Structure 1
Amino acid sequence: MNIQEKRLAIAKMGFSDGFMKTLELSNSFRTSSLRKQCKPFIVNGKKVGILKPDVVDMMREDPDVHESCVELTKKVDKNFFTRTEAIDEILRKWKNHGCFNVALKGWRDEVYSISNSLHDDPLFEMERAGASLFGVIQRGVHINGYVNHPEKGICMWVATRSQNKQTFPGCLDQIVGGGLPAGLSVMECAIKESAEEASIDPSLVKQAIPTGAVSYIFNNEKGIYAEEEYVLDLLLPFDFKPINSDGEVEKFELLEIEKVALLVAEQKFTPSSAAVLLHFLVQHGFIDPDTERNYGEILRGLHSPIKFDDVL
């Protein structure tokens, strides 16, 4: 089947409501009753995060936080280094006292750079396990690894996450995906994650094509996830077989694109991977305005702007 035939096949399968349900989950914070109870986290005069009421209460107990609003005091809000040290001390204190254990038990000793735009100078760095407590923007990199199958057409490599993963165990993912740690570019992160998760040679990863980004805000028991995921599409050789080397993947499967669309509609993927795959389906014409009745809503759901002035 060619792309046009597959597009019509996906349209006839009636996935539209499932796609919308998937995006509602990815964007759940905007319609949540929790939203009205949250406060902005202010650093250097800028709103950089969203704090739930229980986090607000804990923050205001800290001497380095103003009581009148959730803002670092002038003593520590001086520069990148003083802010990083202050946030690290707060998170380690909470971790040592067993506070917010659902989130902080996933402590990784891996830090994110925190800024409202990718190329802004970072305001501070923080342990990634604590990012959802502060509702700051978390950035990641995903690779859609696909194959032009001689008989089945476009097929996608799909990973099943290990049951031991700290987040979304057993859910489905792209062939490669991970958080963007401090100090790495998008391509450097893609190369690192590709080696660890699927044993893809760096020379092959460098052929991946950046196709944009998806953004959304959802909340769960761990906190608030304001996520911005950068998307790379990588056409893989037909005979390529991914091999996991870091223990975070249970198995890989090469699935026809119609099957991938079904699994997205059934909410089998993590929120980030589901959004990235919907982006792929749009970019490659498998979802189009003539056959998808929710086309405009899907586009808006994939690119929900993270502007804290608008959110709170």
Structure 2
Amino acid sequence: MSRSLLPIIETSDNFPSDFTSSYPASHPTTGEIYVPFHLSFTDYQANLAPVGLLRPAVVSALRESEYEDDHLCPWSFYLDTHRFNDDDEMDGILETAVRCVFFADWVLAGGSDLMGKVMRETAERWRKDHLFPGPLGGWRDEAYMIYASPRSSFFSSEDSQPFSNAAFPLERSACAVFGFATFGVHMTAYEGQGDDMKIWVPRRSETKATWPSKLDNSVAGGIPAGMKPIESMIKECDEEASLPADLVKKYIKNCGVVTYFYITDDGYLQPEIEYVYDLKLPHRDDPSYVLPHPHDDEVESFSLLTIPEVLAALHSGQFKPNCGLVLVDFLIRHGLVTPEDEPNFIEITWRMRRRLGVAVPSPSV
């Protein structure tokens, strides 16, 4: 390899790596402060991973929301007040900063349904008022599940089952407003092995709202609230690549996750986790073989690319950024990128598995 793959990783994992997980924290370059969002003040006091990270403008929008009765405000704010003396050494002035935002007790008592209702209505109101048009302008009418620390006081018992720390659903476009972690599934479908390997690569439709006409992973999509990763993967395989469920279930292989922290050009935080799958298609003489082809209007076409062709497309920026990251992970796992030919091998591997500093599905804390 003549060029490093690190720039491909940096297009998705572009939030500074020296970001601290102690809160409130700030961007090490811009100085913008991020206030942790928790379900309860008890969770903040226990120093648990926050549900999300709020920019100052978002905190202000929450504080400025108008309600007929203050007792109906769904938000509570932990304030930290400092006193500064003036030149005459008088009492000075007070400066107040929000150190944490959490749900009011009456919202928390209403459980997941009420928390979800409050969050949805807030996002809908802001969208109507044209607040935060960057993320909310891409409204999808599709909800993602938002997670809290499994040690949160909201959860009544120690439940070690996967995904048992689901807190509430939220419209996917609003997740970046609150700095919530989002989750998706990405699969690489391929034929052959080693130097003879070829990967099925789709081109996104030119009408897609995001990254039109870019190359993509064989199959990829977000995980809707209420779905498990494998259920979402099987659904996407049918919708995007016309791959039947029986073939997918027979040949699919879970390969873990990749994690990265993306910050948009306009400063919104998008910590993301992608569940990664491989699908080695059977030999074409096998009766179960199915040729991947578009099933909906999200994919324009599929191409079967050699590894050199995939690498060339990665280096020339033809892939949607996070899909490029997933492909780099695939190439490393299959021994097609090694420490001997990639000068930034170690940094690449840890940048695809970084801690995000916000809550993720249990049993992680």
TM range (shorter): 0.7 to 0.9
Q: How does 1:85-100 map to 2 (within 5 A)?
A: 85-100=117-132
2:142, 2:30 → 1: CA distance?
28
Question: Which sits farther off after the overlay, 83-92 or 237-246?
Answer: 237-246
The structure with higher relative contact order (CA 8 Å, sep 6+) is: 1
SS at match of 1:76: helix
Find the partner of 2:3 among 15, 19, 28: 15
Unaligned runs of 5+ in 2: 18-26, 66-72, 80-99, 150-161, 285-289, 360-365
CA distance in 2, matches of 1:305, 1:149: 32
The match for 1:4 is none
User: Which residue identity does 1:225 align to in structure 2?
Assistant: Q
2:337 corresponds to: 287
Contact 1:214/1:302, CA 8 A, preserved across alignment: yes
Closer, same or farther in 2 for the Cα pair 1:222/1:268, shift >3 Å?
A: farther
Using the TM superposition, give the Cα deviation of residue 238 of structure 1 relative to its aligned residue in structure 2, in angstroms. 5.3
Whether the 8 Å contact between 1:116 and 1:137 is mirrored in structure 2 is: no
Residue 60 of structure 1 and its aligned partner are, at CA, apart by 2.1
1:303 alignment partner AA:
R
**Aligned residue number for residue 129 of structure 1:** 173
Q: Say what the alpha-carbon RMSD is for the aligned residues.
A: 2.2
| Greater displacement, 30-39 / 165-174 | 30-39
2:114 is equivalent to residue 64 of structure 1: no
Residue aligned with 2:302, SS: strand
Please tell me whether Structure 1 or Structure 2 has the larger radius of gyration of its CA atoms: 2
SS at match of 1:269: coil
How far did residue 223 of structure 1 move? 2.4
Deviation at 1:232, TM superposition (A): 0.6
Amino acid at match of 1:59: L
Structure 1 distance, partners of 2:269, 2:208, is 19
Residue in structure 1 matched with residue 269 of structure 2 by the alignment: 224
- Rounded to whole Å, the distance in 1 between the matches of 2:213 and 2:341 is 32
In the alignment, is the contact (CA less than 8 A) between 1:103 and 1:222 conserved in 2? Answer: no
The answer to whether residue 104 in structure 2 is matched with residue 76 in structure 1 is: no
With the length of structure 1 as denominator, give the TM-score of the two structures: 0.87
Quick check: 1:171 aligned with 2:214? Answer: yes
Change (3 A) 1:65 1:261: same
Q: Answer with 111-120 or 89-98: which moved more.
A: 111-120
Hey, which of these two has a bigger chunk of helix by percent?
1
1:39 to 22, 32, 35: 35
Separation in 2, partners of 1:26, 1:199: 28
Q: 1:1-312 maps to which residues of 2 (within 5 A)?
A: 11=1, 14-16=2-4, 19-30=5-16, 33-34=29-30, 36-44=32-40, 45=43, 46=48, 47-62=50-65, 63-67=73-77, 68=79, 69-78=100-109, 79-116=111-148, 119-148=163-192, 153-206=196-249, 207-220=251-264, 221=266, 223-237=268-282, 239=284, 240-308=290-358
CA drift at 1:264: 2.1
Q: 1:35 to 1:286 in 2, by over 3 A?
A: farther
Query: For this pair of structures, how many residues does the alignment match?
Result: 294
Q: CA offsets per residue over residues 284-308 of structure 1, 9 Å max, x none?
A: 0011122222111110111111123
| Partner Cα distance (2:14, 2:36) in 1 | 18
| CA distance 1:299–1:203, shift in 2 (3 Å) | same
CA deviation string 1:19-74 (max 9, x = no partner) = 11121221212256356422222223251112223222212223322243322222
Indicate the larger mover: 230-239 or 202-211. Answer: 230-239
Aligned residues of 2:181 and 2:358 also touching (Cα < 8 A):
no
Q: Distance in 1 between matches of 2:207 and 2:34?
A: 31
The AA in structure 2 aligned to 1:103 is P
Partner of 2:97: none
Distance 2:312 2:148 in 1: 34
Shift of 1:260: 1.0
* Ranges in structure 1 where 5+ consecutive residues have no aligned partner: 1-10
TM-score of the superposed pair, with normalisation by structure 2: 0.75
After superposition, the C-alpha distances for 1:240-271 in whole angstroms (9 at most, x for unaligned) are 43221220112211111122122223332223
Contact 2:135 2:173 in 1 (8 A): yes
The CA deviation at 1:178 is 0.3
CA distance in 2, matches of 1:284, 1:163: 31
Q: How far off its partner does 1:115 sit?
A: 1.0
Report sequence identity in percent: 33
Whether contact under 8 Å (1:133, 1:222) holds in the other structure is no
CA displacement, residues 68-91 of structure 1 (integer Å, 9 cap, x when unaligned): 332222221232122111101101
